Structure 1
Amino acid sequence: MGILLASLVFSACGDAPDGSVAEQNPAVEQGKAAEPRYSLGQWSFHREHFSGDMNTFDFIAAADEMGFAGVEYVSQFFQDQVENTAFLDSLRQASEAAGLENVMILVDGAGNLGSSDPAERSRSIAVHLQWARAAQRIGSPAIRVNAHGDGTPAEIKAACLESIAQLAREARELGIRIVIENHGGISNNGAWLADLVEQLKDYEVGSLADFDNWCIARENGELWGAPCVEEYNRYQGMLELIPYAASVSVKAFNFDAAGEEPSMDYAVLFDILHARDYNGWLGIEYEGDKLPSREGIENTLALAKKHWPRQPVITPAAVARLDSTLEAFVAPGGVAGISALIYEKGEEVYFKAAGDADRAGKVPMARNTIAQIYSMTKPLTATALMQLYEAGKFSLDDPVAQYIPELANVRVYAGVDAAGKVKTEAPKRPMTIRDLTRHTAGFYNGGDHPALKPIWEAADTRNYTHTLTGLAEKLASIPLLFHPGEQWEYGPAVDVQALLVERIAGVPFDEYLRTKVLDPLGMQETRYFVPEEDRARMSSAYQRAADGTLVQMPDAEAHAFNINAQVFTPGGFGLTSTLDDYMTFARMLVNGGSLNGKQILKPETVQLMATNHLADSVTQRIWLPSKGQVGFGIDFAVRMRPPVDAQENPGSVGEFFWDGAASTLFWVDPANDLTAVLFVQLFPYDQIGLHRGFRAAVYGANE
């Protein structure tokens, strides 16, 4: 299975990992891909309702005839019946007689819960509670509400937080859950709505994630109807809402000759559902006008059923592509040696080693070759840190200085004075642990900066004779490059995470990592120091010149950090590993934090790590965009959107990954239950398209 074994299913009881009301699907518990339940949205027949050719009882009959398991009502089609108990009882009887579940009532026209006027909010709450009582009467477990209001996005959110919290409290007493849809205006901003729902999770508020409805702003400020002037990326929005989803609206407007919806990529959308192990209701809604309603509904349902099943990624054709790709990499002008290992659905589906680990010594690349993984150390550090988070030892928004007082008085670069002396100012807010995990702490890392570089060089942060505490002391002497949270800058933040582990756990970082992460997983060959008896298995490192020739670096130089005992145990680099060891780590992640009976992390913690934590306001991201359409989670890049063109690294939306300075790479693809590890020892970092070529071979991306 993927990240979350416990699916967020809408209509049952019990606590889901995020605190929402959920039910365990037996098929999911057994590790199988459960078939979803399909409900029919009443809006699919809006033309018939508005013309008077259909009423709500006719809709129930139609849903039954078409083989649906549930129905989703729209309040405006029986607006005047909200308090008519006889009508509501008849509705319940009709659905029960048809064997249909009443999934929810989509409430419109009930006032703005995000209004700046407290009186309007109170009236809106009262009207919504009428619908909550109606839902209780018909046996529906939820109502869908809209997060509409006036003012700035922040003002609307603040008003919604207050009113929806009150509504949810009172509705919960009726046994009714509140669900918010991306349904116009700022609610069509996935990050905005996800944050709203996250802040309301104590009230069991969920989301209704709609495949469409991503227009944030329309001409003349209209909520509906006018041309769209600002649109949110649908794939990113779906990825942001799915962790909170009580239901999903599978919407379609038109169909091409192949039966696909040309305005949206259903394959990507269903990847997103599977990436977050969604197994709740799929609400079918046809909104087009080119087909009769029933035909449009049938086509939409057929499209959903087509894309729900997972097809194998590593097919015989993929194996052939991978073999030829790796062999091509070791041709002249490529690499000396390379190896790859792929697991899919818990089984090894591919392994190959090509070329030489030690070209001079004629030692071939092998499965047990030891590689220096550099920054692929970072996700292991994140795992150690997040174990302490699970134990309640800290909050992500805690100030770093609370645990590392050496950084309490850090200053921020503010230019230079007339004499060329560096000016500093106090941070606008404290540096938080979340800043460390997403590289927004502000640490300067030695880039081209005439004022800060001399200070950085004098601090000698890359002298590896110091301790983690010593590094923090050195970092404290260097002004931050920017205020925490304002930019993305790769640097020593994960080394500071290692110090956090040390301070919070009360043991040296390497000891904690070994006893709590590596040993429980059986990763005996993932280590800082490689003993002499294993050094013959270490791959040599190679420097690629501009003309494509490879220079084999002397092992004594290239391996110096790992063949000499070090006091410094960085969190951001320094470990060595083998393909199988690192694959063990990757498989633990795709399996929701557990492997072979050992639980390293909780499923919800893995999901938190694999969720984008970078706000759109963080626009300066140095080279991160070169990784593709990605955000950044907790020491992972997270793919938010599909590639924009064939030149971009292919992959699945919802995957998370990282790489290393010697061109190593791994990724976790929860949608396909796939993990891949690529080992090579090539400098400078991947200048010949290794990662793109390997990914293209895996997924069959067009060249």
Structure 2
Amino acid sequence: MGLDPDRLERIETWMDRYVQDRKFAGSSLLIARDGKEVWFNATGLRNVEDGLPFERDTVARIYSMTKPITSVAVMMLVERGLFTLDTPVSALLPVFSKMSALIPGAERIDQAERCATPTIHQLLTHTSGLSYPFNPGVLPREMDERKIIFGPRQGRLADMVDQVAELPLAFKPGKRWEYSVAIDILGRVVEVVSGQDLDSFFRDHILGPLGMSQTGFSVPEGTGDRFASLYTPVAGNAMDLNAAREGGETLRLTDRHGASPFEAATLYSGGGGLVGTIDDYMAFVEMLRRGGICENARILGPATVDFMLHNHLHGDIASMGPQSFAEQPMDGMGFGLGGAVVLDPARARCPGSVGDFSWGGMASTFFWLDRAQDMSVVFFTQLSPSSSYPARAELKALVQAALVP
């Protein structure tokens, strides 16, 4: 299948080294080409405390790898003619009818002026003016104080969306790129337009048809101790990207089976709420590679998938003046609908094909889809924050180096 066995062994060595160095407790990697599995490896532990191995059926938090799934849900509704990408979000969620944005150089949250309402397209591409609590700036600080993070046990999605609508935007829509809770807002759009809660819509229209029975907003029943523990190398909040690293424990336990909010979620976060298995997520990536079709159904039309996997920015992310954290490099990387798109591998400083589509999650999970090579890759581990180590760039270089004519 065009992969050098000796060079694949380097990936296994790399995965083992991350475990031996106590960077990751455990991990798994699945590679497919032309719809066929060509390599799988798992190493280390899913639960250090009980000595349980990281295995193929391990259930992991995928956090922001939920975003591409929500983006697909939005495009399914667009395909039905229920709204367009230029529709203002206020037409679907009236709570966003009176929008304001912080004035340039604002130092307080009340220093704002009226502005246009973000469109569905601006929400999909993170150019809406929304933000995340872990970004720098006035709006993120206010979001952090109000604990607006869309956690699995933070009430209901509609109520959290209402809190977001009470705040001004960080900038006027379309002016910058900033990683944000925009996809959570779109999750609420899906609920309102479809008449189903996001959990039900996912199960009926995406997860069910794709056979993703081990994926959901709550850990699936019968999973038992297959749900992996979450670790962090930081002393404070595992979601704080700016927390100082210390020379102590690199695998500090922060969430585990039996005491996790993901075991009974009440808030369905379209931006980061799903848990699932590596085979389940590969089914989703393969659906995109195949142009929207799976064994049991067509999820999207091929033209829609192609549209999603193209760059929707004027240039690369770096040219959009980002001031936020991102799961990917910004130079030489555009942004499609639900993930990043490689525009120039040299500027992105990582081997790959022009058009590679990818995204990752806060617990260091990662996927990419290379249509030029008919290749899908999914990597699972459970360490937050994902900025702790350069694992994604290292992994992509290793996989690309294993490709042979």
Q: Which residue of 2 aligns with 1:49?
A: none
Q: For 2:50 and 2:25, locate their aligned partners in 1 and report how far apart those are by CA, in whole Å.
A: 12
Report how far residue 694 of structure 1 moved.
1.2
Does structure 1 conserve the Cα–Cα contact (< 8 Å) formed by 2:209 and 2:296?
Answer: no
Report how far residue 548 of structure 1 moved.
7.3
Q: 1:532 to 1:459 in 2, by over 3 A?
A: same
Q: How does 1:465-484 map to 2 (within 5 A)?
A: 465-484=154-173
Q: How does 1:346-495 map to 2 (within 5 A)?
A: 346-414=35-103, 422-427=110-115, 429-446=116-133, 447-449=135-137, 451-452=138-139, 455-457=142-144, 459-462=146-149, 464-495=153-184
- Deviation string 1:57-116 (CA, Å, 9 cap, x unpaired) is xxxxxxxxxxxxxxxxxxxxxxxxxxxxxxxxxxxxxxxxxxxxxxxxxxxxxxxxxxxx
**Pair 1:562-2:293 in alignment:** no
Report how far residue 416 of structure 1 moved.
7.8
Q: Which residue of 1 aligns with 2:240?
A: none
Q: For 1:542 and 1:561, locate their aligned partners in 2 and report how far apart those are by CA, in whole Å.
A: 15
Q: For 2:105 and 2:38, locate their aligned partners in 1 and report how far apart those are by CA, in whole Å.
A: 57
> Alignment partner of 1:482: what SS?
coil
Q: 1:417 to 1:368 in 2, by over 3 A?
A: closer
Residue among 553, 566, 576 paired with 2:253: 553
Residue among 307, 311, 314 paired with 1:608: 307
- Deviation string 1:601-643 (CA, Å, 9 cap, x unpaired) is 1111111111111113952123447255210011110111122
Q: 1:415 to 1:639 in 2, by over 3 A?
A: closer
**Pair 1:649-2:338 in alignment:** no
Report how far residue 415 of structure 1 moved.
5.5
Report how far residue 352 of structure 1 moved.
0.3
Aligned length in residues: 385
> Alignment partner of 1:348: what SS?
strand
Report how far residue 498 of structure 1 moved.
0.5
- Deviation string 1:380-400 (CA, Å, 9 cap, x unpaired) is 111111111111111101111
Report how far residue 333 of structure 1 moved.
3.8
- Deviation string 1:251-309 (CA, Å, 9 cap, x unpaired) is xxxxxxxxxxxxxxxxxxxxxxxxxxxxxxxxxxxxxxxxxxxxxxxxxxxxxxxxxxx
Q: For 2:113 and 2:220, locate their aligned partners in 1 and report how far apart those are by CA, in whole Å.
A: 47
Q: For 1:421 and 1:537, locate their aligned partners in 2 and report how far apart those are by CA, in whole Å.
A: 43
Does structure 2 conserve the Cα–Cα contact (< 8 Å) formed by 1:488 and 1:621?
Answer: yes
Q: For 1:351 and 1:439, locate their aligned partners in 2 and report how far apart those are by CA, in whole Å.
A: 33
Q: For 1:628 and 1:458, locate their aligned partners in 2 and report how far apart those are by CA, in whole Å.
A: 31
**Pair 1:621-2:322 in alignment:** yes
Q: Which residue of 2 aligns with 1:34?
A: none
Q: Which one has a bigger Cα radius of gyration?
A: 1
1:340 alignment partner AA = L
Report how far residue 365 of structure 1 moved.
1.0
Q: Structure 1: any 5+ residue segments left out of the alignment?
A: 1-311
Q: How does 1:504-583 map to 2 (within 5 A)?
A: 504-531=193-220, 533-545=222-234, 546=245, 547=247, 549-556=249-256, 560-563=260-263, 565-583=264-282
Q: 1:666 to 1:417 in 2, by over 3 A?
A: closer
Q: Structure 2: any 5+ residue segments left out of the alignment?
A: 235-244
Q: For 1:687 and 1:607, locate their aligned partners in 2 and report how far apart those are by CA, in whole Å.
A: 33
Report how far residue 701 of structure 1 moved.
8.3
Give TM-score, length-normalised by structure 2.
0.88
Report how far residue 528 of structure 1 moved.
1.2
Give TM-score, length-normalised by structure 1.
0.52
Q: How does 1:269-348 map to 2 (within 5 A)?
A: 313-348=2-37
Q: 1:632 to 1:417 in 2, by over 3 A?
A: closer
2:111 alignment partner AA = K
> Alignment partner of 1:355: what SS?
strand
Runs of 4+ aligned residues of structure 1 deviating over 4 Å after TM superposition are: 415-418, 556-559
Report how far residue 410 of structure 1 moved.
1.6
**Pair 1:674-2:347 in alignment:** no
Q: 1:373 to 1:537 in 2, by over 3 A?
A: same
Q: For 1:326 and 1:699, locate their aligned partners in 2 and report how far apart those are by CA, in whole Å.
A: 16
Q: 1:388 to 1:606 in 2, by over 3 A?
A: same
Residue among 587, 593, 599 paired with 2:298: 599
> Alignment partner of 1:671: what SS?
helix
Report how far residue 453 of structure 1 moved.
5.2
Q: Which residue of 1 aligns with 2:241?
A: none
**Pair 1:696-2:397 in alignment:** yes
